[in-house]
Chain A
């Protein structure tokens, strides 16, 4: 029985503490980080997609549409918009990395490719995010 001990298995009864100790007993290497991030961004994007398709109904009526869009123009949602861009960018670049590895690189290049994915995600999020953030948080500060 002892030989089949799982990482973080303290031999105690299941509890939130043992759950946490199991989760944090894994060493998160780049490949694992990529896997977790791909999953988390993917699930968030599916959730957003459902909300987004439901929102299309506001196209029925001019007044409803402008009211709906004003909701999304709340400064808080501008941050969410940039985070959405970040999630899409990461998922896209990491997806392309997986595709390239399947097709051309095998796995020996996965670490440098993962760092390239992170760098590209940050660059794209900043470049695409600035025009979104600018009128809300930067223009008011300018003299």
Chain B
């Protein structure tokens, strides 16, 4: 591909234009993904257990493991309140076993990480004058981004593989 910029400043402003565009693309994508994410994870829809279902799950869990009985007795695991909808292990696993949901959640993860980290670098860049400091912080931000992306994808892919 031919390069449309002639000097170093041109290359810098081109990189900034790419970041600008990425923030728009990931931002619009995130609005759609987050509406879905919030609907599925926080609203009383079929993806959450209702109070009766959740207390039934706790009963099965405590029959299976004495550790769960202790955890419930200690209040580390609490029964559902009347009318409460709870996100549960089995419901999440059930959803994430489908490849489509895996793809959706990985895309959400990558979009959120990219948008968040580009935004963070933009904010930090406003308060750093020294070039060397900027470069170091930028490198650190990208390292954290890659690390978190790897961890997140690893967890999502591992669901239903055991």
Tell me the minimal C-beta distance from B51 to chain A in angstroms: 8
Q: Contacting B119 at CB < 8 Å: which of A46, A99, A139? A: A46
Residues of A within 8 A of B144 (CB): 50
Tell me the minimal C-beta distance from A61 to chain B in angstroms: 9
Query: Do A88 and B76 touch (CB < 8 A)?
Result: no
B78 CB within 8 Å of chain A? yes
Query: Do A66 and B77 touch (CB < 8 A)?
Result: yes
Identify the B interface with A (CB < 8 A).
24, 27-28, 30-31, 34, 38, 42-44, 51, 58, 61, 65, 67-68, 71, 76-78, 81-90, 92-93, 109, 112-113, 116-117, 119-120, 123, 144, 148, 151-152, 155-156, 158-159
A96 CB within 8 Å of chain B? yes
Query: Do B83 and A139 touch (CB < 8 A)?
Result: yes
Known: A49-B112, A135-B81, A135-B83. A63 touches B71 (CB 8 A): yes
Query: Do A96 and B77 touch (CB < 8 A)?
Result: no
Query: Do B42 and A136 touch (CB < 8 A)?
Result: no
Query: Do B109 and A128 touch (CB < 8 A)?
Result: no
CB 8 Å contact bits of A35-67 with B (1 = contact, 0 = none): 000010011011001100110110110110111
Query: Do B44 and A139 touch (CB < 8 A)?
Result: no
User: 29 A-B pairs, CB-CB below 8 angstroms?
Assistant: A42-B116, A42-B119, A49-B116, A50-B148, A53-B109, A53-B113, A53-B151, A56-B152, A56-B155, A59-B93, A59-B159, A63-B61, A63-B77, A66-B58, A66-B61, A66-B71, A67-B76, A69-B86, A70-B76, A92-B31, A95-B27, A96-B27, A128-B42, A131-B42, A131-B44, A134-B83, A135-B81, A135-B83, A135-B85
Cα distance A36–B158 in the bound complex, in angstroms: 39
Query: Do A46 and B120 touch (CB < 8 A)?
Result: yes
Tell me the minimal C-beta distance from B15 to chain A in angstroms: 18
Determine chain A's interface SS by DSSP, over half rule.
helix
Q: Which 4 A-B pairs have the closest CB atoms?
A: A135-B84, A46-B116, A65-B89, A135-B83
Cα distance A8–B102 in the bound complex, in angstroms: 53
Query: Do B148 and A43 touch (CB < 8 A)?
Result: no
Known: A46-B117, A134-B83, A136-B81. A67 touches B71 (CB 8 A): yes
Q: Which residue of A lies closest to B162 (CB)?
A: A60
Residues of B within 8 A of A99 (CB): 24, 27-28
Cα distance A102–B68 in the bound complex, in angstroms: 54
Query: Do A92 and B83 touch (CB < 8 A)?
Result: no
Tell me the minimal C-beta distance from A125 to chain B in angstroms: 11
Residues of A within 8 A of B28 (CB): 96, 99
Q: Contacting B67 at CB < 8 Å: which of A57, A63, A81, A135? A: A63
